[in-house]
Amino acid sequence: MAAWEAEKDRTVCVTGAGGYLASWVVKLLLSRHYTVHATLRKPNDEKYVHLKKLDKAAENLKLFKADLLDYNSISAAIRGCDGVFHVASPVPSGSVPNPEARPFSIVELVEPAVKGTLNVLKACSEANVKRVVVVSSTAAVVMSPNLPEGEIIDEKCWSDGEYCKAINNWYCYSKMVAESEALQYAKEIGLDVLTVCPSYIFGPMLQHDANASSLILLKLLKDGCEETENKFYNTVDVRDVAEALLLVYGRPEAEGRYICSPHVTTTKDMVETLRKNYANYKYPKRLIEVKDQSRWNVSSEKLVRLGWRFRPVEETLVDSIESYRQAGILD
């Protein structure tokens, strides 16, 4: 029996389905013959039209209006599902939200991440969902002054909440608290919950408006600034993250956390790779070396042992640019 036949007729829910990563998860699930309950805050918004155009969307995609902080709306979307991919969480541009700005004050960032995740898990438990995959982040892994210096960072490592607060990194705080509370709550109520922690996600967009991580690449191509910092980036391709989520979902032996971050690159490497393929964009004129910046040696070994494969950074970057051109946000 082909693998997809075994998966046939399964129904799963994807939260925040119109977002950058979730759109790829929905696309992959539909291609593997799942029926998908997709939660969206505004299902009739034009910005989600890409979902309706996916192959098999007409037959197998059902849209649900749901907000993470509205339990009944989330519960209605999850009812009848075998599995749930909880992807939705606020992602600001830059780690520090502006307390004055909507929609990313500290409360608006942390509440949906933490309370929203617990709402999803409670609804999963009530609906007898068999397995839940929660998208966390390496933001929940690396942001700590106590990590083993120069050593490999694996799933045992956690960001330090007090440290995140002290340095005003509320995104890391939100992801760390959401993931740790999710695993704790799952243990208490006996729910099968796995978490996947990607680093910076790049790669082609299916949606039309650029999300926070795609904006980092777009800035390198459009800004034409005099100088910018040469930073380290731990990265992964959006399509490889979607594959990782389905891989852990489908493997009975999968358990606990999975770091999903195969590459370390730098601003300089990315600019050089992009310039080699696209000479004419407005790249930064100079890259300044940053002293004492962290270079996290995170390991995706646990995921690779499960059978996960990933593509090279150059393919990710080139495919990103092609998708920005198609979306009309880059000439």
In the complex with ligand NAP, which residue's Cβ is closer, 86 or 131? 86
Cβ 61 vs Cβ 36: under 8 Å: yes
Using CB under 6 A, which of 12, 63, 81, 91 touches ligand NAP?
91
Does 62 bind ligand NAP (CB under 6 A)? Our answer is: no
> What is the footprint of ligand NAP within residues 123-142 (CB under 6 A)?
135, 137
**CA distance from start to end of the chain:** 46
Does 83 bind ligand NAP (CB under 6 A)? Our answer is: no
Long-range residue pairs from 308-313, CB within 8 A, at least 24 positions apart, any chain: 308/240, 308/243, 308/244, 308/247, 308/260, 309/240, 309/243, 310/236, 310/237, 310/240, 310/262, 310/263, 311/237, 311/239, 311/240, 313/235, 313/263, 313/265, 313/269, 313/270, 313/273
Does 90 bind ligand NAP (CB under 6 A)? Our answer is: yes
Q: Which of 247, 16, 186 is nearest to 116 (CA)?
A: 16
Cβ 237 vs Cβ 316: under 8 Å: yes
CA 6/CA 71 separation, integer angstroms: 32
Active site residue 175: yes
* Min dist. Cβ of residue 44 to ligand NAP (A): 12
Stretch that binds ligand NAP, among 17-25, 148-156, 223-231, 250-258 (CB under 6 A): 17-25
Does 57 bind ligand NAP (CB under 6 A)? Our answer is: no
Helix or strand (DSSP H, E) at 83: strand 83-86
Does 88 bind ligand NAP (CB under 6 A)? Our answer is: yes
Using CB under 6 A, which of 12, 51, 54, 68 touches ligand NAP?
68
Does 181 bind ligand NAP (CB under 6 A)? Our answer is: no
Does 262 bind ligand NAP (CB under 6 A)? Our answer is: no
* Catalytic residue list: 175
Binding residues vs ligand NAP (CB under 6 A): 16, 18-22, 41, 67-69, 87-91, 112, 116, 135, 137, 175, 198, 200-201, 211, 213
